[in-house]
Amino acid sequence: MGTDLEKIKEEGLLAISGAQDFLFLEEAGRRYLGKKGVIADFFDGLKDLPAEERRAAGQKANAVKITLQEAYDKKRAQFTIEERQKIGAEKIDVTMPGQAVESGRLHPLTLVLREAENIFKSMGFEVAFGPEVETEWYNFDALNIPEWHPARDMWDTFWLKQGNTKNKEKILLRTHTSPVQVRYMEKHKPPIRIIAPGKVFRYEATDASHEIQFHQVEGLMVDENISVANFKAIVETFFQRFFDNKNIKIRLRPSYFPFTEPSFEIDVSRGEGKWLELAGAGMVHPKVLTAAGVDSSKWQGFAFGMGLDRLAMIKYKINDIRLFYQNDLRFLNQF
């Protein structure tokens, strides 16, 4: 009998003080101290003992019960304290300043493009798009640049593998946004007022002012009575608003493009005597109107193509075009 109690005490203490958490502790408590627990069992068994042993055994069992109960209470108190400390440590201080979330931002070219779009939209222009992979027809022939024409050398071209194109047409990465003029006129009857922004590609060496990919904004206006004067007014208004400077002047310098006649380079000045070349332009060549299915005896118009990267470089005083394409956060985070 005595050894039984010793064993119960030892095992009970082990279960109670070894409990890893509240659940284990309660389980041990139920097992040893509960109504149907080990000690209660032991008391039940006392009635089978001879009367002279009963008293002593009962006293011993009581002592064991008290020891286990004390161990249980102590352990429980310890868990309670630990639990409170844990809650204290996890407490959230809602007045503490938060951590700022790093937010994304728009690329400088996107900013400049959106601004250009808004200015032209306010003058009644719509925005049109064309594919970056173009056919030889739209990039060259329809723009009055047949295969033998020396002007093709003006655009160093990335030719692509032919693949499954219809009629074995040659395909390329468009060297300018001018093919969108033709694509748009094929689908829409004049009067037309569009700009066509997008990526263009040139097969050439890169340096601070040349990249193999850059962006242009093409402009096209076709109507019955369009003159160079209309063109000059619209483009000058655009540059004045874009650079937020009423003193901006533009000058048209004679130039050559096979798809315009006459052709100009557009130079822009802030009035300090310095002129910057920002776009190519001209009156749409009748052959281009004809190639796109527009009656050139009735309709005429102007077109221009300006370098968006150039515009952004001037606006934000950036001296290397390659920065736009390197995704260096030290650069991008400035906008």
Query: 242 vs 304, which CB is nearer to ligand PHE?
Result: 304
Q: Is 114:127 a contact under the CB 8 Å cutoff?
A: no
What is the C-alpha to C-alpha distance for residues 301 and 304, in angstroms, rounded to an integer? 10
Residues 6+ apart with CB under 8 A from 145: 151, 152, 258, 259
* Nearest distance in Å: CB 292, ligand PHE: 14
> The tokens 């047409």 sit on which residue?
169
* Nearest distance in Å: CB 335, ligand PHE: 26
* Nearest distance in Å: CB 117, ligand PHE: 17
The site map against ligand PHE for 271-310 (x = CB under 6 A) is ---------xxx--------------------xxx-----
CA nearest to 130, candidates 79, 85, 178, 162: 178
Residues 161-190 that bind ligand PHE (CB under 6 A): 176, 178
Residue 85 CB-half CA count within 13 A: 6
Binding of ligand PHE by 311 (CB under 6 A): no
Query: 75 vs 176, which CB is nearer to ligand PHE?
Result: 176
Binding of ligand PHE by 260 (CB under 6 A): yes
Query: 19 vs 143, which CB is nearer to ligand PHE?
Result: 143
Q: Is 66:12 a contact under the CB 8 Å cutoff?
A: no
Number of residues that bind ligand PHE (CB under 6 A): 10
Query: 16 vs 278, which CB is nearer to ligand PHE?
Result: 278
* Nearest distance in Å: CB 306, ligand PHE: 8
* Nearest distance in Å: CB 262, ligand PHE: 10
* Nearest distance in Å: CB 138, ligand PHE: 12
Query: 4 vs 261, which CB is nearer to ligand PHE?
Result: 261
Residue 330 CB-half CA count within 13 A: 0
Residue number of the CB atom closest to ligand PHE: 305
Rounded to 10 degrees, what is the CA torsion of 67, 73, 76, 82? -100
Query: 29 vs 282, which CB is nearer to ligand PHE?
Result: 282
Query: 135 vs 178, which CB is nearer to ligand PHE?
Result: 178
Q: Which of 214, 231, 257, 324 binds ligand PHE (CB under 6 A)?
A: 257
Distances (CA, A) of 307 to 216, 217, 273, 321: 5, 7, 22, 11
Footprint on this chain of ligand PHE (rule: CB under 6 A): 176, 178, 257, 260, 280-282, 303-305
